[in-house]
Amino acid sequence: MPTLGIIGAGPIGLECGLYASQSGWDVEIFERDRVGAHVRDWGHVELFSPWRLNRSPWSEEALRDTGLTLGHPDECPTGREFVQRHLEPLAQLDQLAGSVRTGTEVVEVARQHALKDEYIGAEGRSGGPFLLHLKGDAGETYARADAVVDATGVYHEPNGLGPGGLKAVGETSHRDRIAYDIPDIGGDDRTKYCTDTTLVVGSGYSAVTSLRQLAELRRQEGQPEIIWLRRHPGAPYEIIDDDPLDQRRDLSEWGNAAARGEIDGIVPAVGIVESIHSESTDGPLEIGLDQSEHPSLQVDRIIANVGYRPDNSLHRELQVHQCYATEGPIDLAATLLGGDSTDCLEQEAAGADALANPEPNFFLLGAKSYGRNSSFLLKNGFQQIRDVVDGLLPEFDAA
């Protein structure tokens, strides 16, 4: 039986593993941390898509068969509930049990018999297995696979805070006072944000989620003002007519009100961070901005919700043709960039061909396949899985 190596036991890695095993593949899923590690990191945040969009038809059926009570199709789980009620049970299904190797990082993938610059566009490239360089508690080793899916997401690769995506001057040395995720401000991280002046940078849904938690904390504890820095003036969030996702509409309306200065305690500002400086390890941070009207700010902490990018070092020895703007696989990136709608719910499936790489039998799926484009939704990932397993993986004689 041929082996499919899947990198990442997030939602897409696990869903792909189940679908491929049902199609006769011998699946191995390598996860550097725990099942659903990235989702756990934002476990306190409620997903804006309801359960019915967050699980595939095949995982729903498999979990129902075990007698598990599934989340109501129209309710939105938190990230934590999603892990506990879906991802963990998925990893424990008979079809996957024993196939998920947690605590096992894939450092790099290559072809056993070919260097990156060999067999260019030639059939011989698929003539041997992939080698996955693994690193875990037991040390280093290689695993072999006939096909590989990279579903490692982007959540641990934040963009820089400075101009043009660079790190700001002093950003790295003040790393301990910068959060690049959505901190659990109402829970575990509460004490950190109770008394400090916080600067939130960014204008996506993560930024507005962080701001909303900070505003609630301020309402409860009366902590100092919160400064919200964006690169551009105006309303940051598009309000979609009759938006079927209530959570998204609420966040967008609240975010636009905050950007107009209508939310108590949130001070909106426009500019780009160029430098971060402090006189002592716990003294205030002097933030140098790129503009002359308000050239600097003084804060205690920063939440940098400035987007994420894929870690491409994993497949640098393979032949992957990537978009020079988004860093997603080129054909998929072109389809996404060419789409008319700004609503991620309305994205058309890009189709199997858009997921094929010059490297035969190597596929980027899930959030990582969108590169720096943040519009990925799980439901798009389920279609990707079908496209790859049914249409692109090599056929084999299951007997």
Residue 12: helix, strand or coil by DSSP?
Answer: helix
- Burial group, residue 313, by CB count within 10 angstroms (0-12, 13-18, 19+): exposed
385: contact with ligand FAD by CB under 6 A = no
Q: List the alpha helices (DSSP H) in the chain.
A: 11-22, 37-41, 51-54, 57-65, 79-82, 88-91, 190-194, 205-221, 246-259, 330-338, 378-386
Nearest distance from residue 299's CB to ligand FAD, in Å? 23
356: contact with ligand FAD by CB under 6 A = no
Tokens 């490239």 -> residue? 125
Nearest distance from residue 28's CB to ligand FAD, in Å? 11
Q: In this complex, which beta carbon is closest to ligand FAD, that of residue 197 or of residue 384? A: 384
287: contact with ligand FAD by CB under 6 A = no
8: contact with ligand FAD by CB under 6 A = yes
Residue 390: helix, strand or coil by DSSP?
Answer: helix
Q: Which of 13, 162, 268, 371 binds ligand FAD (CB under 6 A)?
A: 13
Q: In this complex, which beta carbon is closest to ligand FAD, that of residue 19 or of residue 376? A: 376
Nearest distance from residue 294's CB to ligand FAD, in Å? 29
Restricted to residues 164-183, the positions that interact with ligand FAD (CB under 6 A) are: 182
49: contact with ligand FAD by CB under 6 A = yes
124 Cβ contact partners less than 8 Å away, ≥ 6 residues apart: 114
Nearest distance from residue 142's CB to ligand FAD, in Å? 14
Q: Which of 2, 5, 10, 371 binds ligand FAD (CB under 6 A)?
A: 10
Q: Which of 4, 20, 39, 178 binds ligand FAD (CB under 6 A)?
A: 39
Give 138's Cβ-side CA count (13 Å radius): 7
Task: For strands 104-111 and 362-364, give the pairing.
Answer: unpaired
Tokens 């109402």 -> residue? 186
Q: Which residues bind ligand FAD (CB under 6 A)?
A: 7-13, 30-33, 36-39, 42, 45, 47-49, 105-106, 151-153, 155, 182, 206, 314, 366-367, 376-378, 381
